[in-house]
Chains A and B, each alone.
Chain A
Amino acid sequence: MLDLSVIVNNFAFLVVQGLLGLGGFTGGTLRLAIPAIVLGFVLGIFIGIARLARAWWISLPATLYVEFFRGVPLVMVIFWIWFIIPQLLRRPIPEYGVALTAFVVFEAAYFGEIVRAGIQSVPRGQVEAATALGLTRAQSMRFVVLPQAIRNMVPSLVTQMIVLFKDTSLASIIGYVDLTKAAQIVNNREIRPFELYLFIAVVYFVFTYSMSRIAARFERRLA
Chain B
Amino acid sequence: MRRMLAVLSILGLALPIAAPALAQQGTLEKIGQSGVLTIGTRTASPPFAFVNKQNEWVGFSIDLVEQAVKPAIERKLGKPITIEKKESTPPTRIPLLSSNAVDLIAGTMTDTRARRESVDFSLTFFVTGAQFLVKKNSPIRGIESIAGRRVAAQQGSTNAKLIRERMPTARLQEFPDQPAAFQALAQGQVDAYTNDGIQLYGLRAKAPRPDDWKVVGDFFSYEPYGMAMRKNDSDFRHAVNVGLMEAIESGKYFELYDKWFGPNGETPYPLTPENKRFLIMQVVPK
In the complex the two chains form, what is the Cα distance from A86 to B100 in whole Å?
A: 7
Q: Does B130 contact A (CB under 8 A)?
A: no
Which of the residues A57, A82, A83, A189 comes within 8 Å of B206, measured between beta carbons?
A: A189
Q: Is A185 touching B2 in the complex (CB atoms < 8 A)?
A: no
Stretch in contact with the other chain, from A89-97, A115-123, A202-210, A213-221:
A89-97
Stretch in contact with the other chain, from A22-30, A66-74, A152-160:
A22-30
Q: Is B206 touching A86 in the complex (CB atoms < 8 A)?
A: no
Q: Which residues of B are found within 8 Å of A95, using beta-carbon distances?
A: 86-87
Stretch in contact with the other chain, from B51-59, B75-83, B166-174, B276-284:
B51-59
Q: Does B180 contact A (CB under 8 A)?
A: yes
Of all chain A residues, the one with the shortest Cβ separation from B98 is: A87
In the complex the two chains form, what is the Cα distance from A54 to B179 in whole Å?
A: 53
Within 9-67 of B, Cβ neighbours of A (below 8 Å) are at 9, 16, 19, 21-22, 24, 38, 43-44, 51, 53, 55-57
Which of the residues A50, A90, A137 comes within 8 Å of B21, measured between beta carbons?
A: A90
Q: Is B100 touching A53 in the complex (CB atoms < 8 A)?
A: no
Which of the residues A58, A93, A138, A189 comes within 8 Å of B9, measured between beta carbons?
A: A58
Within 69-113 of A, Cβ neighbours of B (below 8 Å) are at 82-83, 86-95
Q: Does B89 contact A (CB under 8 A)?
A: yes
In the complex the two chains form, what is the Cα distance from A115 to B266 in whole Å?
A: 56
Of all chain B residues, the one with the shortest Cβ separation from A182 is: B55
Which of the residues B1, B9, B51, B187 comes within 8 Å of A137, measured between beta carbons?
A: B1
Q: Is B101 touching A54 in the complex (CB atoms < 8 A)?
A: no
Evaluate whether A24 and B2 lie within 8 angstroms (CB atoms) in the complex, with A91-B22, A95-B86 already known.
no
Q: Is B183 touching A188 in the complex (CB atoms < 8 A)?
A: yes
Evaluate whether A58 and B57 lie within 8 angstroms (CB atoms) in the complex, with A92-B101, A185-B44, A191-B186 already known.
no
Evaluate whether A25 and B206 lie within 8 angstroms (CB atoms) in the complex, with A184-B179, A191-B183 already known.
no
Evaluate whether A90 and B183 lie within 8 angstroms (CB atoms) in the complex, with A24-B56, A55-B2 already known.
no
Count A-side interface residues using an 8 Å CB cutoff.
40
Which of the residues A94, A184, A190 comes within 8 Å of B86, measured between beta carbons?
A: A94
Q: Is B87 touching A175 in the complex (CB atoms < 8 A)?
A: yes
Evaluate whether A193 and B5 lie within 8 angstroms (CB atoms) in the complex, with A90-B21, A94-B86 already known.
no
* Distance of A151 from chain B, by nearest CB (Å): 22
Q: Is A58 touching B5 in the complex (CB atoms < 8 A)?
A: yes
Q: Is B99 touching A93 in the complex (CB atoms < 8 A)?
A: yes
Q: Is B38 touching A92 in the complex (CB atoms < 8 A)?
A: yes
Q: Which residues of A are found within 8 Å of B182, using beta-carbon distances?
A: 188
Q: Which residues of B are found within 8 Å of A91, using beta-carbon distances?
A: 22, 100
Q: Is B43 touching A191 in the complex (CB atoms < 8 A)?
A: no
Q: Does A4 contact B (CB under 8 A)?
A: no
Q: Is A50 touching B98 in the complex (CB atoms < 8 A)?
A: no
Q: Which residues of A contact B (CB under 8 A)?
A: 13, 17, 23-26, 50, 53-55, 57-58, 61, 82-83, 86-95, 136-138, 141, 173-175, 184-185, 187-191, 193
What are 17 pairs between A and B in contact, CB < 8 Å? A24-B55, A24-B57, A55-B2, A58-B9, A61-B9, A82-B95, A83-B99, A89-B19, A92-B38, A92-B99, A93-B101, A137-B1, A173-B176, A175-B87, A175-B92, A188-B183, A189-B206
Considering the complex of A and B, which 5 residue pairs feature the smallest CB-CB distances, nearest first? Answer: A86-B99, A175-B87, A188-B179, A138-B1, A92-B101
Q: Which residues of B contact A (CB under 8 A)?
A: 1-2, 5-6, 9, 16, 19, 21-22, 24, 38, 43-44, 51, 53, 55-57, 86-89, 92, 95, 98-102, 176, 178-180, 182-183, 186-187, 206-208
